[in-house]
Amino acid sequence: MKTRRNFLQKASLSALALHLSPFTPISAMSKEFLNTQNDDTPLRVAIMGLGSYGTRVAKAMKDCKRAKLVGVISGTPSKIEAWQKEYNIPAKNCYNYENYHQIKDNPDIDAVYVITPNGLHKEHALGAAKAGKHVISEKPMATNAAEAKEMVDGCKAAGVKLLVGYRMHFEPKTQAVINMRKDGEFGKVLFFQGLSGFVIGDPSQWRLNYELSGGGAMMDIGIYSINGARYMIGEEPIWVTAQETKNNPDKFKEGVDETIQFQLGFPGGAVASCLSTYSMNNLDKFFLNGTKGFAEMQPSTGYGPIEGRTNKGPLTQPHVTHQTLQMDAMADIILDGKEPLVPVDGEEGLRDMVIIDAIYKAVKTGGKVSLI
**Taking a C-beta distance cutoff of 8 angstroms, is the pair 44, 70 a contact?**
yes
Helix (H, G, I), strand (E, B) or coil at 196: strand
Burial letters 60-74, b for 16+ CB under 10 A, else e: bbeebbbbbbbbbbb
**CA distances (Å), origin 282, targets 252, 278, 291, 299:** 20, 11, 28, 9
- How far apart CA 64 and CA 332 sit, in angstroms, is 12
**Taking a C-beta distance cutoff of 8 angstroms, is the pair 370, 239 a contact?**
yes
Q: Is 139 a catalytic residue?
A: yes
DSSP string, 13-62: H---------SS-HHHHHHHHHHHHT---PEEEEEE--SHHHHHHHHHHT
- How far apart CA 162 and CA 10 sit, in angstroms, is 26
Residue 271 burial by CB count (10 A; 0-12/13-18/19+): exposed, middle or buried? middle
**Active-site residue, selected from the candidate residues 97, 113, 224, 231:** 224
CA 21 and chain centroid, separation: 14
Which residue type, as a one-letter code, is found at position 171? E
**Taking a C-beta distance cutoff of 8 angstroms, is the pair 19, 139 a contact?**
yes
- How far apart CA 222 and CA 245 sit, in angstroms, is 14
**CA distances (Å), origin 273, targets 46, 248, 262, 303, 360:** 38, 24, 6, 23, 16
**Active-site residue, selected from the candidate residues 122, 139, 161, 173:** 139
Of the candidates 296, 242, 235, which has an alpha carbon nearest to the alpha carbon of residue 269? Answer: 235
Q: Is 2 a catalytic residue?
A: no
**Taking a C-beta distance cutoff of 8 angstroms, is the pair 50, 72 a contact?**
yes
- Given the DSSP bridges, would you call strands 283-290 and 189-197 parallel, antiparallel or unpaired? antiparallel
Mind telling me the catalytic residues? 139, 224
